[in-house]
Amino acid sequence: MTGNGSDRARFGPFEVDLHTHELWKFGTRLKLVGQPFEILVVLLSKPGELVTREELRTRLWPGDTFVDFNHGLNAAVNKLREALSDSAENPRYVETLPRRGYRFIATVEWAGAKLVVPEAPSPKLETPIPVETPRAPRTELPSPAAVPSNAGTPSRSALLQYLLGAGVLFTLFLAAALLFRTSSSYGAGSPTRSFVEHTRPLLAISDTATPAFSPDGNSVAFFREHSQPGESGIYVTAVGSEQLLQLTGNDDDRYPVWSPDGRWIAFSRLSHQTYTIHIVAADGGGEQKRKAEQNVTAASAVFKLTSSGTAERELQTGGVVPSHGELDWSPDGKFIAFAGQSGIYLLSLEDSTVRRVTTAPPMVQDWGPSFSPDGQKVMFVRNREIGAPDEIWAAPVSGGQGVRLFSERGRIGSAPQWSFDGRSVIFSSNRNGHPALWRVSLDAPDSAVEIREAGSPAWDPAVSRRGYRLVYERLLRSVSIWQMNLSGTDDKRAYLTVSSTSDTDQGPGPQFSPDGKRLAYMSDRSGTMEIWISNSDGSNGFQLSAVGGAGTPRWSPDSLSVAFDATTPNGSKIVTMNLHGGAPLILTPDAFHSVCPSWSHDGKWVYFASPRSGEWQVWKVPAGGGPPVQVTQHGGHAALESPDGKYVYYAKTQMAEPEIWRVPVNGGPETPLPLVHPGTWASWQIVEDGILFVGPSLGHQAVLSFYDFARQRTTTVTVLNRVPFWLGATPDGRTVAFDQPGQEQAQAMLVENFR
């Protein structure tokens, strides 16, 4: 599946994700935010039907005057059409019905549930005014031929003391494991590491995207989006510094890439749905600024001053129009690689000629070029027709037949990158439902390993050739917990319980205690993802764990302990903690990944998912510790035991819209539940008489349904505004808790000691 949160639609070459508010074209994320995107959401909710102007005004312009609305709607629809390369005269997607409204006329294919009522656009965060770093003297910006070729508190104080003590003990306990146990390698041929990666934001400001390392790994170029005119554009910063140097002032600039000598930066600019390639001095200009002011011509290009006061010029691509924005600069400094309509091309900086490297088959896109460290090959993504897997290929720079490196069962979200030694590939994929970074060893292309240091969601990785650093783009999303009472009234309204639990969509994983008095959830408000406990209404929250990466909390039957998974360099571990103190217990101290714990109804066992047998299966381990016991034989994930203790129910895979299966507790046939279709492995919950789940139904709305164990049938409970990733419920099924995303912004993240 390509759906993220089971709410992705496809039409033509486009994909739209209603959960993350993103629009993609052939795998490239397009810029479409605010009201233009919300209009697209409304139109997609009624394909082929008239959406009146009044309906759009009511949903998107509440309180505005009619005159302001008309002007705003026309402008927003024009912006939408521009993003879709559509026209009012010959529409392929958005048809105008004069004086009445609009209609979406293209065929829409849904991969999951979709949004019912769009929310208002999120405001942008204010960021500091850029401060230029001191610039060393530079020489004149060369002509193409001159480019170098080398180069929160509980009510009882005693309880708080116990919990704080447990947190300290747990931190020390896992710290010892982090420091003294070597981590497993990322794949065949990868070095074994005995150190810990450190992940942090590259800068304190957000809205920083498409990062790229300088050749020495000490500086990063990136795109910054800003609400003030002229403040968006390409920026440069030194690693460890908060000072910024603005190079361009255009909000349509993306994908910077450095020359091998570190003096120049090439980038793409999108204008009227057409990409152009530009070059700018990495230090802002120096002597080039003076010559630009005098309108001095270098070679066949005229340098001109940008709004930020730097000098740039556009490179000519010999009549080949770039179809994607991703670029790469060859290690010898002679070429810039880009994607055209028919394949990957090389632009010579010596004579401005353009040469094709790959030829894409009909109805196929090649994009995202990346030179190997030795400069002999170009790696790229090959998108085939909808439904076929994305592939990563490599082709020789000198010409000749390309080879497929591997196929990816998820959707590749950005240009792949070579590791620093060229022995593995780093890429972004949503194979587990969320965009995350993965590594594939070229010696074992079928064994992709998630780069857990990066978290999720993550796009646009860049690997430093020196310094062992990784930088990538993360989506900041203020995720909150909402609850809904399902009993006593037909008016089922959701209400906010805990706001801003997390800056990413890893959280919050809300879970009610069996006695209904408490709520456990994930939050990174302390700086790292941890387990928090509150009253069931979200009040009096406090932090339980302190491990630097905890998730998927589940309560013990007596409501006194919580099991969760903890991320370490030696694999994820299953850990239990008692709310009233005592040392935390690691149930899976081995080197295998173990995630998604849950308790048996009698509290004697803890179920979990692990690939320790070669593929992901459901396992269980004694709650007091002991050897794991395998439960499923044919694949399984995220298990929950029935209240009567007879069956173990589980998601078949980690992918979006998994099948739900069951197996007898004491072993037996593994059988599916064909009437239960949750959107994710986490959006279903077992209650007393059945299963509550959120999945696609009724025209792809976010529908909360109930599967009755006794009657073996599914009924609709209510419709939610947006599709959640997580679903929790009280044991009686009368109250549910779920996540809803709020404000979204991009942020460049840095991983130190990455190899």
pLDDT band with cut points at 50, 70 and 90 for residue 752: confident
Note whether 196 and 281 are same-domain residues: yes
Supply the DSSP string of 342-353, one letter for each residue.
Answer: TEEEEEETTT--
Domain boundary among 93, 110, 127: 110
525 or 622: which leads in pLDDT: 622
In-domain check, residue 134: no
CB atoms near residue 614 (< 10 Å): 6
Q: pLDDT at residue 301 above 60?
A: no
Measure the CA dihedral 301/307/311/312, to 10°: -50
In-domain check, residue 1: no
pLDDT tens figures, 693-747:
998 655 556 899 999 999 999 999 998 877 788 999 999 999 999 988 766 678 8
Q: pLDDT at residue 457 above 90?
A: no
Q: pLDDT at residue 475 above 60?
A: yes
pLDDT at 477: 66
Note whether 502 and 426 are same-domain residues: no
Task: Give φ, ψ of 39 to 5 degrees.
Answer: -65, -40
Note whether 680 and 584 are same-domain residues: yes
Note whether 625 and 595 are same-domain residues: yes
Task: Find the mean pLDDT for residues 131-150.
Answer: 35
Question: How many whole angstroms separate alpha carbon 90 and alpha carbon 567?
Answer: 53
pLDDT at 111: 64
pLDDT tens figures, 388-425:
788 999 999 998 889 999 998 778 889 999 998 899 99
pLDDT at 201: 87
Q: pLDDT at residue 288 above 60?
A: no
CATH of the domain at 50: 1.10.10.10
Can you tell me which residue has the tokens 């005229």?
302
In-domain check, residue 706: yes
Q: Where are the beta strands (DSSP E) in 573-654?
A: 573-578, 585-586, 595-599, 605-610, 617-622, 629-630, 637-641, 647-651
Please give the mean pLDDT across all residues of the chain.
Answer: 80
Rg (CA), the chain: 27
Note whether 486 and 466 are same-domain residues: no
Q: Which long-range contacts (CB under 8 A, 24 or more apart) does 653-656 make?
A: 653/616, 653/681, 654/431, 654/432, 654/433, 654/616, 654/681, 655/1, 655/409, 655/431, 655/432, 655/433, 655/681, 656/1, 656/2, 656/3, 656/4, 656/5, 656/6, 656/111, 656/112, 656/430, 656/433, 656/680
Domain boundary among 47, 75, 110: 110
pLDDT at 415: 95
pLDDT at 410: 78
Q: pLDDT at residue 601 above 50?
A: yes
pLDDT at 128: 30
Note whether 683 and 708 are same-domain residues: yes
Task: Find the mean pLDDT for residues 310-317.
Answer: 81
For 488, the token pair is 């006593």
Domain boundary among 79, 110, 141: 110
pLDDT at 722: 76
Least confident piece of the model among 371-375, 473-477, 660-664, 674-678? 473-477
In-domain check, residue 135: no
Task: Find the mean pLDDT for residues 573-588.
Answer: 90
Supply the DSSP string of 365-399, one letter for each residue.
Answer: EEEEEEE-TTSSEEEEEEE-STTSPEEEEEEETT-
Q: pLDDT at residue 225 above 90?
A: no
590 or 86: which leads in pLDDT: 590
SS3 assignment for 47-107: CCCEEEHHHHHHHHCCCCCHHHHHHHHHHHHHHHHHHCCCCCCCCCCEEEECCCEEEECCC
Q: pLDDT at residue 606 above 70?
A: yes
508 or 26: which leads in pLDDT: 508
Note whether 521 and 597 are same-domain residues: yes
Task: Find the mean pLDDT for residues 585-591.
Answer: 92
pLDDT at 611: 94
The boundaries of the domain holding residue 75 are 8-110
Highest-confidence range of 169-178, 291-300, 485-494, by mean pLDDT?
A: 485-494
Task: Give φ, ψ of 489 to 5 degrees.
Answer: -160, 155
In total, how many domains does the chain have?
3
CB atoms near residue 204 (< 10 Å): 9
Q: Assess contact for 343 and 284: CB atoms under 8 A.
A: no
Please enumerate in sequence order all residues whose Cβ is within 8 A of that of 689, keeping only pairs 6 or more positions apart, or say none: 708, 709, 710, 733
pLDDT band with cut points at 50, 70 and 90 for residue 157: very low
Q: Assess contact for 414 and 460: CB atoms under 8 A.
A: yes
In-domain check, residue 162: no
Note whether 421 and 504 are same-domain residues: no
Note whether 462 and 500 are same-domain residues: no
In-domain check, residue 141: no
87 or 502: which leads in pLDDT: 87
pLDDT at 34: 81
CATH of the domain at 359: 2.120.10.30
- CB contact burial 314-331 (16+ within 10 A = b; e otherwise): ebbbeebebbbbbbbbbb
Q: pLDDT at residue 591 above 90?
A: no
pLDDT tens figures, 526-569:
767 889 999 998 888 888 988 878 999 999 999 999 999 998 76
Least confident piece of the model among 39-53, 63-77, 364-378, 724-738? 63-77
Note whether 224 and 329 are same-domain residues: yes
Note whether 656 and 700 are same-domain residues: yes
pLDDT at 76: 86
In-domain check, residue 590: yes
755 or 641: which leads in pLDDT: 641
Phi-psi region of 433 (alpha: psi -120 to 50; beta: other; left: phi over 0): left
Question: How many whole angstroms separate alpha carbon 492 and alpha carbon 490?
Answer: 6
Task: Find the mean pLDDT for residues 327-333.
Answer: 96
Q: Assess contact for 288 and 303: CB atoms under 8 A.
A: yes
In-domain check, residue 121: no
Note whether 442 and 497 are same-domain residues: no
For 679, the token pair is 């959107």
Q: Where are the beta strands (DSSP E) in 464-510?
A: 469-485, 494-502
